[in-house]
Structure 1
Amino acid sequence: MNFLAHLYLSESNTNVMIGNFIADHVKGRNFSHYHEDIQKGILLHREIDTYTDAHKIVRISKRRLHERYRHYDGVIIDIFYDHFLSKNWKNYSQIPLDVYVNSVYNLLQENIDILPERTQEMLPYMIQYNWLYNYQFAKGIQEVLNGMNRRTNGKSKMNLATGDLLENYQIFENDFTTFFEDLRVFSHQKLKELG
């Protein structure tokens, strides 16, 4: 899953949200210096990623893209799924998406000093281009995929994936809806286990 889903699955615990958000920039097990709930967020993020990668519906979604994008198929599906979460946000939260996103940006800016360096470098771009809010629009997805394609020097061809999304839109949305229900249950249980 991508940023919005990880934040949402933190269930409004702000420190868990921070940990879940920064986890990709925290390597190994060297994170004991963080607040206990931030550590939980990092662990939750890793559990979510493991569960997602192994889930049969996600594997089916990825298979639809694999021939063209190879090992980038998972990254693209993460973005597609965040698109469907943001597009259908009112089905998952009573807080309007724009209000939620702005509260996340404020939280991250207020805690900028404790974020890993790579997260600190990325955050201004995320806010400037309002990634979390703009995931709901095909244009927003296209901009994210364009940026990722540039980072791979054009090898990934991820800039073409919006076409795949639009061509198989209902199929991908059905995949997301079914999978996300499973993921919500899994994440809630994991959070309880993490204390």
Structure 2
Amino acid sequence: MNFLAHLYLSADNTEIMIGNFIADHIKGSKFTQYTPDIQRGIRLHRAIDSFTDTHDIVRQSKRRLDKRYGHYSGVIIDIFYDHFLAINWRQYSEIPLETYVQSVYRLLNQHLDILPVKTQEMLPYMIKYNWLYNYQFAKGIQEVLNGMNRRTQGKSKMNLASQDLLEHYDDFNKDFKLFFEHLREHSIKTLEELR
């Protein structure tokens, strides 16, 4: 899953949200320098990624993508699923998406000093281009895919994946809704186990 889903699955706990958000920039056991709840967030992030990568519904979504993406197909599906979380947001939260996103940006800025350097460097771009809110729009998804393709120096061809999204839009949406129920249950269970 991508940023929006990881944040949402953090159970409205500030420190778990921070841990879940920064986890990709924390390697190995470096997470032990953080508070217990931030550590829980990092562990939750890893559990979400592991669950997602091995789930049959996610594998089904990956098979719908053109073969040209190779091992980048998982990253593309993560981005697509954040898109479907954003457009279906009202089914999962009573807080409007824009309000939620702005509160996340404020939270991250308030804790900027404890974020890893890579996260500190990324955050201004995320806020400037309002990634979390713009996941709901085709243009927003295209910009994310373009950026990911640039980071791979064009090797991933991820900029072309919006064609796949449009071609299989309803199927991806159904996959997301089915999978996300499983993932929500798994996240709740994981947080209880991490106490």
Fold shared by both chains (TM-score > 0.5):
yes
Output the amino acid matched with 1:23.
A
Three-state SS of the structure 2 residue aligned to 1:12 is coil
Output the amino acid matched with 2:171.
I
| Partner residue in 2 for 1:143 | 143
Q: Among the aligned pairs, what percent are the same residue?
A: 71
Matches of 2:31 and 2:77, distance apart in 1? 28
Question: For 1:54-82, what per-residue CA distance to the aligned partner results, in whole angstroms no more than 9, with x for missing partners?
Answer: 10000111122251200000000000000
Output the amino acid matched with 1:45.
H
Matches of 1:46 and 1:118, distance apart in 2? 18
- Segments of structure 2 that go 5 or more residues without pairing to the other structure are none
Matches of 2:182 and 2:155, distance apart in 1? 33
Q: Which range moves more in the overlay, 152-161 or 61-70?
A: 61-70
- After TM superposition, which residue ranges in structure 1, 4 or more long, deviate above 6 angstroms? none
| Partner residue in 1 for 2:152 | 152
Matches of 2:20 and 2:93, distance apart in 1? 18
2:76–2:161 CA contact under 8 A, matched in 1: yes
2:3–2:21 CA contact under 8 A, matched in 1: yes
Matches of 1:160 and 1:66, distance apart in 2? 9
What is the deviation of 1:29? 1.1
- Segments of structure 1 that go 5 or more residues without pairing to the other structure are none
What is the deviation of 1:118? 0.3
Three-state SS of the structure 2 residue aligned to 1:32 is helix
Matches of 1:182 and 1:159, distance apart in 2? 29
Three-state SS of the structure 2 residue aligned to 1:72 is helix
| Partner residue in 1 for 2:58 | 58
Matches of 1:23 and 1:169, distance apart in 2? 29
| Partner residue in 2 for 1:70 | 70
Matches of 1:44 and 1:10, distance apart in 2? 8
Matches of 1:66 and 1:55, distance apart in 2? 19
Alignment of 1:6-155 (within 5 A): 6-65=6-65, 67-155=67-155
2:66–2:164 CA contact under 8 A, matched in 1: no
Matches of 2:141 and 2:78, distance apart in 1? 11
What is the deviation of 1:32? 1.3
Three-state SS of the structure 2 residue aligned to 1:31 is helix
Matches of 1:151 and 1:48, distance apart in 2? 24
What is the deviation of 1:30? 1.6
Output the amino acid matched with 1:18.
I
What is the deviation of 1:33? 1.4
| Partner residue in 2 for 1:165 | 165
